[in-house]
Structure 1
Amino acid sequence: MRPITRNVLLVILGVLVVMLALGALPSYLEVGDAYAVEATAVEEDGPSVNVTTLSERRFPYTFGALSAAQAGERPARSEAYYTGPVGFKEAFTHTPFDEYSEFEGRNASSVERSGDTPDGDVAYVRYSGQRYRLEIIRVDGGA
């Protein structure tokens, strides 16, 4: 193999390794502000997103909170999501804020945004015949 070909292949391999690291490693970082989704069963009727047909793999924070609520845990929270340094992590990982954006796209009236900060955002979903209020909350030290 010619030296230039070998060098090009090594550069390509190096770039692929760096891209894989950027995609996988940020999800393991537990630095920055911690947020979780908290689920509360509500009795009143209103707009909501039916999450029964959605994938638990695509909405892990939502289903984590809903599972905790159905198990009777108080507070019924998902695992914590850590924002990481300077918003870098959000570009490479799935966040609870992504899930709320998806709910907003499905039924805009089922999501209430709190303003400038992500904590306090509320979404209403229907799961197993029950309506739940999901709120993004800031937690100390994880869920």
Structure 2
Amino acid sequence: MRQITRRVTFALLVALALLLALGALPSYLQTGDPYYLTATPADGNHTAVDASLVTTDRYPYASAALADAAPNRAGRSDAYYRGPFGFKGAFTHSPFDEVDAVRARNVSAVDGDGVFVRQNGTLYRLAVTQQP
């Protein structure tokens, strides 16, 4: 009985360690070209999401891009790498997730693959860009 209990306990600990590794390790995979979330100043009278709804804890890429932007220049977030085989996307937070979440806040602010956001009276278009 004792040996079976030890083996089951060991197997459960190994399974737990593997699950923890699957949650932590994909964020370290960096292959391919980087993707950035960019905030580009936009002209016109577009419906936009209020930037106060884009909080740093929930939208780190979007808030970094907006913080880096100015009314006369685009800002961008830190780099995000998809990783091999699309495996990383299932386990990590990405700029793609953030654009989708901001789009869901106001569907009329969507512009193709981006979304309009207004911060301090300036209109920005948030979109994911890939740069080699």
User: TM-score scaled to structure 1, two decimals?
Assistant: 0.82
Q: Is the 8 A contact 2:26 2:88 kept in 1?
A: yes
For structure 1, which segment, 62-71 or 76-85, has the greater mean C-alpha deviation from structure 2 after superposition? 62-71
Residue of structure 2 in register with 1:53 after alignment: 53
Q: Distance in 1 between the 2:58 and 2:46 partners?
A: 24
Which stretches in structure 2 are left out of the alignment for 5+ residues? none
Q: Distance in 2 between the 1:5 and 1:128 partners?
A: 62
Larger relative helix fraction: 2
Residue of structure 1 in register with 2:117 after alignment: 125
Letter in 2 for 1:58: R
Q: Distance in 1 between the 2:49 and 2:130 partners?
A: 23
Q: Distance in 1 between the 2:100 and 2:83 partners?
A: 20
Q: CA RMSD in A?
A: 2.0
1:69 equivalenced with 2:69 (yes/no): yes
Q: Distance in 1 between the 2:57 and 2:22 partners?
A: 21
Q: Is the 8 A contact 1:103 1:110 kept in 2?
A: no
Residue of structure 2 in register with 1:117 after alignment: none
SS at match of 2:116: strand
Letter in 1 for 2:56: E
The structure 1 segments of at least 4 consecutive aligned residues displaced by more than 3 Å after TM superposition are none
Q: Percent identity?
A: 45
Letter in 2 for 1:78: S
Match for residue 129 of structure 2 among 115, 120, 137? 137
Q: Distance in 2 between the 1:50 and 1:71 partners?
A: 16
User: TM-score scaled to structure 2, two decimals?
Assistant: 0.89
Which stretches in structure 1 are left out of the alignment for 5+ residues? 114-120
Q: Distance in 1 between the 2:6 and 2:71 partners?
A: 57
